[in-house]
Amino acid sequence: QKEVEQDPGPLSVPEGAIVSLNCTYSNSAFQYFMWYRQYSRKGPELLMYTYSSGNKEDGRFTAQVDKSSKYISLFIRDSQPSDSATYLCAMSAGSNYQLIWGAGTKLIIKP
Amino acid sequence: DARVTQTPRHKVTEMGQEVTMRCQPILGHNTVFWYRQTMMQGLELLAYFRNRAPLDDSGMPKDRFSAEMPDATLATLKIQPSEPRDSAVYFCASGYALAYNEQFFGPGTRLTVL
Mean pLDDT per 10-residue section of chain B, whose length is 114 residues: 93 98 96 94 93 90 94 96 97 86 94 98
A80-102 mean pLDDT:
92
Q: Given CB atoms, is A93 within the 8 Å cutoff of chain B?
A: no
Pick from B99, B106, B108: which is nearest to A95 by CB?
B99
Classify strands A100-101 and B5-7 as parallel, antiparallel or unpaired: unpaired
CB < 8 Å to B45, chain A: 98-99
Angle CA A39–A71–A108, to nearest 5: 25
